[in-house]
Amino acid sequence: MSWESGYPAAALLGLLVGALSGWWCPQLIARIPEPEPEPVDEEPGETDVRSTLPPPPPKETYVHIAGLPGLAQRTAAASALVGGVLGASVGWSWSLLFLLPLAPIGVALTVIDWRTTLLPTRLIAPTYAVTLVGVALAAVAEGDLDVALHALIGWAVMGGIFFVLWFIYPRGLGYGDVRLSGILGLALGALGWGELATGIYGAFLLGGVGGALLSLLRIVNRKRFPFGPFMLVAAVLAVAVGPWVADRFGY
C-alpha cells in the first residue's frame, strides 16, 4: 500500500499532522458529555454488600481533565511521536489516510482511560466512521479491494476476541475496550496479518505485564486498571514491527 520510498517525508508529515491535531486533544476531551450515573439495583430486603465498602472516588470530569496544566503540550508531543512512527513505518502510503487520524484520537483516549478507566462511546463511535471511510478511500486509491476485505476481517477477529473475553468475564474487561478493539482491528487488518496478529498478542502481553507491574507499584488498582492505553501502544508497535513479524512467521 505504498508508493516508491518516501519514508522520511511520510514520517515528517505524520509528525506535523500529529503535533497540530494533538494540540487540540484537550478541546476534544472537554466536549465529551459526562456519562449517565449507573443505576443501583437492589432486591427488597436484601443488603447490598457494596454498602459495607467505602464508596469509590467520584469520576474525574472530562472538563477537569481537559484543563490540566500543560495537557495540550503533552498531547501534541505524544501525538507527534505516534504520527512520526506511523509515517516512518508505512512510508508514503495510502494507509496514512486511516492511520494518521488515529494518532490524536488514540492519545485523547489514552488520557481519558488512564484517568477514568473509561473509553467514551461518544468519541469511539465517530472514530469507527473515520476509520471506515479512510480504509475505503485507501482501498479505492490503491485499486485493491482486498484492503477493505482484510480490514473487515481484522474488525471481526480482533473485535470478536475481545467480545468473547468480555462476555465470559465482564469484570476483567470493559466494553469500551471491546469497541476500541474493533477500530484497531480495522486499521491493523487493512495493513496485513502480521500487524493484526502483533496488535492482538501485544495488547494482552503489554496489558498483562504492564498492568501487573503498575499494580505492584500501587500506581493503579489491580481490579480496575485502564487497558486501553496498552492496546493503543501495542497497535503502534504492531504497525512498526508487523511486516517483520509477517516475514518471520509467514503470515
Query: What are the boundaries of each domain within the chain?
Result: 7-32+59-249
pLDDT in tens, the chain (251 residues): 555 558 999 999 999 999 999 999 999 999 999 987 665 554 555 444 444 545 556 789 999 999 999 999 999 999 999 999 999 999 999 999 999 999 999 999 999 999 999 999 999 999 999 999 999 999 999 999 999 999 999 999 999 999 999 999 888 889 999 999 999 999 999 999 999 999 999 999 998 888 778 777 777 666 678 999 999 999 999 999 999 888 888 76
How far, in Å, are 177, 196, 238 from residue 118 at the CA level? 9, 24, 23
Please give the grid coordinates belonging to residue 16: 506535523
Q: Residue 184: which residues within 8 A CB-CB, separation 6 or more?
A: 158, 199, 203, 231, 232, 235
Does this model's pTM top 0.85?
yes
**Considering only CA atoms, which of 217, 198, 195, 196 is closest in space to residue 206?**
198
Q: Which residue has the cell 474525574?
A: 60
The grid cell for 188 is: 491493523
Number of neighbouring beta carbons within 10 Å of residue 43: 7
Name residues whose C-beta falls within 8 Å of residue 105's C-beta, 6 or more positions apart in sequence.
28, 123, 127, 130
Summarize pLDDT for 217-249 with one digit per residue, the tens: 777 666 678 999 999 999 999 999 999 888 888
Establish how many alpha carbons lie within 13 A of residue 5's alpha carbon, considering only the half-sphere containing its beta carbon. 2
Distance, CA of 94 to CA of 18 (rounded, Å): 17
Rounded Cα distance between 215 and 198, Å, is 24
User: Rounded to an integer, what is the distance from CA 164 to the centroid of its chain?
Assistant: 18
